[in-house]
Structure 1
Amino acid sequence: MNNMIWTCSNDYIDQWCNPGNQAFHCVCQRLGVSHVITEPKGDATTTNEVINQLLHHVGAMCIHQLNLLAASNNLPITNFLGKQHPIEAHHLSSICDIMEKAMVNGDTCIIRCILVVFQVVFKFFFSPQTERNRDIVRRSGLLLWQLLMAPRDQICAEIQKEVCLAISSGLNILYPGEAEINNLLKLVLTEGERNSGLSQLRDVILTNLAEQLQNNRFGSEDDDHYRLNDELLHYILKIVVRESCVLITKCQTVSKDDFQRLLSTVPAASSCLRYLMAVQNHLLSNTILIKPDENDDSDSSLQGETLKELKTSILSLATQILTGCDEVLEMLQQVTTALINSDIADREQRLKGLEQITKATMLGHLLPVLLTSLMHPNLQTLTMADALMPQLVQLVLYTSQ
């Protein structure tokens, strides 16, 4: 018992005196181990049990580290990590060895512990400078991908979630270079609907990118990393349009009970919609907040160049969003007409619910902000008006109907 108490925390001796850290039973639940400490039957314990307890302890410490990072989002990592040195290749190799053995033995608890360790290692400590380090990174990436793509009957949802968090944490290490990351994102965006693992990975990565984008100013060093290219944005927009159309269609097709359940879940935005909202807010807010240089108001000034770049990005995004809104409005018109002409018993409730559901789609989350922001003086240009006018006319026609 004495040897197991310290597994609760490295700072405090038991689960009842653990201020500042997540509750012991919550940590155990994430690791998939029992929070009930059984009394040993003798003074000795097996080697296997000792190793398991050590791995559980390491997993718990890593969870505390991740929680500390999440709670200190706006502080530099060095404030609470101290002067940490990059992990050596042979240590990461040992972690991979443990993971491989756990996968062969089907030991889900150890797999979950090592996945949490990967998240900390990738986030803070690893720098793949040498060829040997890159080989170890490739090996760890293959292990993670093997778990991600495992059949659903062979992997539990909790492990799949931890795998996605590990890949997202090590995105820049596992996929060095813009081309590799773009290829991964293209894969999860195009194949996500057919594979639950890829779908979950897509959601985790986009949610993380959306959060990072909101904390960065336009033109900063990390801005290009968090703001995806037009091709990937197009894939995301297609998913958002499809999700919006499916939501609206459900107002007509699902049963009465399912419709009530649907109303209770909105307006929860999907990860793809949240990312588009983050990109739009990022571009629009930076455009509106930019102030012209009093000494030089020409287009060649720093503010002028930045504003010109912002307008180009906004025009490209607005064109895609308005095109997508056209499709969703067309579907909304069809469903509304079908409900009005139907003899369904709860027709009035469904029409009221349809309005609520519509607010949870891109029509509610993206369109009002975009149209309002386009009225700002910084965006009132002939180029912008000329490019967007045909689509705005089409929007007016749909809304009037």
Structure 2
Amino acid sequence: MKRTGDARLLRRVNRSAVLDLIYREGPLPRAEIARRLQLSPPTVTRIVSKMLEEGAILESEVVDSQGGRPATLLRFNPQSALMIGVYIGQQVVGALADLNGQIIESRTERMECGDGGVEQLIQLISALHAKAHSLGIPVRGVGVGAPSIVQYPEGIVVWSPTLGWRNLPLRNLLQDTLHLPVFVENEVNLIVLGENWRGVAQGLNNVVCISLGDGIGAGLILNGKLYRGTHCASGEIGYLIPGRQFLGYAYDTYGCLEGLAGCSGIVRRFWTAVEAGASSMLFAADRTEITAETILIAATQGDEAAAQVVDETIDYIVIAIANLSAILDPEMVIISGELAKYGSILIDEVRRRFNGLAPHTPPILVSASHVDAAVMGAVASAMMETSNALELYPRNL
């Protein structure tokens, strides 16, 4: 039995190595693959024949420039299967993508809450699955990012105040209805995966991505791998305590930092500043129309109360980045989330105030699009979970 098991493992290792080499450095001829991997030509031929039969790779001929015999090259086939990636925020964004992360079709809808939100997800994913079926290409898996701590791999959404989901077995609900492999992950974890695969952090092994919105969280890639923590709650930096005056309270719905620097916290502190006497051009406005974005824009226009609140918010963000940098020593920190589109208002001052607070100062960048990154991360997550390849050492996608 041991010999049989060893042989199967060796076949899987060899197949993984061949596919990985073609994916990263192809197109390549069979002889070059055998040489680089130190495998016998018959072994490579056997592996390649099986992958050609499955459609995982394709072959093409390239004519020798010296007029010699054409060489047959092997290349990865990104459309041997498709993936579905879904991001849940104020809107739900779903995309059908190939194995290179190229989007074939995407859909965006206003996200519903409660049970209606689950049914909405089922309908959206089903529509994308139908598109793949019309193309004659199988869907290999579905990745979903939820704004909550997510028990992994069970896919249970622990508590999402914005959606009204508590201890929701989202993976099972979707998988049982769709009859597809489904993987549910914390949205910020998917953002950092997407940035690491197709975004600003490609090729890096230690990355922190901070999502700023109504909630505040961080996705962590450490030593080339997504880090979830013991209870799948790593990166819940919304619970950071930025000062001793905030001790002694219970933070049940939102964490301390979220209550201060999240969207609703920014709005609350703005009205507190106005009531304390700070002047504001927004004072006469309908309170329901004032948002964190309104306040950020007003700060650039010289509004006293808004500028005071934004100044404090920058301090809170810098404290979070400094603490994470001192503990994790990342190669890069990425600012993402709903407020990242106002990064030009925040980022220069964040960098200036951060300087000298940690042993090493990492580059601090703004994500081009947290939604796109999250969708790419959802695709990447489903790809990894459904791959037959063996991960022999920590590495990026």
Which band: TM-score by shorter chain? under 0.3
**How does the TM-score come out when normalised to structure 2?**
0.25
Higher strand residue share: 2
Between Structure 1 and Structure 2, whose CA radius of gyration is higher? 1
**How does the TM-score come out when normalised to structure 1?**
0.25
